[in-house]
Amino acid sequence: MGSSSSMTSHCFVVVTLSLLYVTTTYGQLSQNFYAENCPVLERIVQTEVSGALSAEKRMGASLLRLFFHDCFVQGCDGSVLLNDAPDSERDADANANSLRGFDVIDAIKTKVETNCPGVVSCADILALATREAVVELGGPSWTLLLGRRDSTTSSKKLAEDNLPGPSSSLDGLVTAFANKGFTPTELVALSGAHTIGMAKCEFADEGQVRPECNLDSLAMTALDLQTPEVFDNTYYDDLMRNQGLLHSDNVLITDSTLNSLVSTYNSNPALFNADFSAAMNKLSEVGLLTGDEGQIRLNCNKVNVN
């Protein structure tokens, strides 16, 4: 009886400490954080993203890339949106004249501020818009904790130090993702984001022949040869055919274990969707700011002036 009581007390302490850790780490974050103080938030996001994708399907990929480039630097804190200071993330080589979707986030923010002033962070808007864009293009959804705060800083150097590029080696990719807590399996799953969108021909891997690239290296070409406007698993079919556009795509099949995973995702779209969702959920919780750690920017491009 004493042993059972001791075990019960021990379990209670462990559970209590676990809950304390979650509360300390995530503050008051929850999936329904804005249910009472901004119930129209998700409807606004859906309407604006749907309109943007109706005008240009490629915008879905642009929002997904914008979110990735935000989370991979200082965490999912909206720091990539800042442009009111020199040497911001926007100025990094991987971002300058390349990142898109800022106007969509600004449009959402404007409507949200009209309905719920000073309540919703830009970081949460970017996270929600990205998920909505993937779903609109036929992809899976994932769980999002909301209530994060916006960063007051943005660093060009951190962006250049942390973001992998189109010519990254396999070792470089594995290291870059491991530094953010991701496994090689999650690297392959997240690379599936290249099933939508386009890239400049100048970044095409050697030997990748695309007719539109013959005369202009600055021309745009699809990352996914088959269904570039649909979020599916055909990206992996391209890889199996040695037709990945970027060097950072093609190196995934040079490792036997990762090559096997590419083949599995190619033949099992349900597994890819599940693994992509899980990886995106994990990505969305990297480096979150809560409470006094950040602010709710009134303009996503600028830090609030006290």
- For 116-145, the pLDDT digits (tens) are 999 999 999 999 999 999 999 999 999 999
In a domain, 11, yes or no: no
pLDDT value for 158? 96
In a domain, 31, yes or no: no
Q: What is the CATH number of the domain that holds 186?
A: 1.10.420.10
Q: Which of 58, 69, 148, 247 is catalytic?
A: 69
Residue 70 assigned ligand-binding role: yes
The domain tally of the chain equals 2
Residues 62 and 111 in one domain: yes
Distance CA 297, CA 80 (A): 13
Backbone angles phi, psi at 86, to 5 degrees: -70, 155
Comparing 285 with 218, the larger pLDDT belongs to 285
Average pLDDT over residues 187-214: 93
Share the mean pLDDT of the chain.
91
Does pLDDT of 19 surpass 90? no
Residue 247 assigned ligand-binding role: no
pLDDT value for 27? 54
Q: Using an 8 Å Cβ cutoff, are 204 and 221 in contact?
A: yes
In a domain, 227, yes or no: yes
Model pTM? 0.90
pLDDT-derived band at 11 (thresholds 50, 70, 90) equals: very low
In a domain, 25, yes or no: no
Q: What is the CATH number of the domain that holds 126?
A: 1.10.520.10
Residue 227 assigned ligand-binding role: yes
Q: Using an 8 Å Cβ cutoff, are 60 and 134 in contact?
A: yes
Residue 171 assigned ligand-binding role: no
Residues 48 and 138 in one domain: yes
Q: Which residues pair with 246 in a beta bridge?
A: 204
Catalytic residue status for 69: yes
pLDDT-derived band at 306 (thresholds 50, 70, 90) equals: confident
In a domain, 27, yes or no: no
Domain that holds residue 176: 170-282
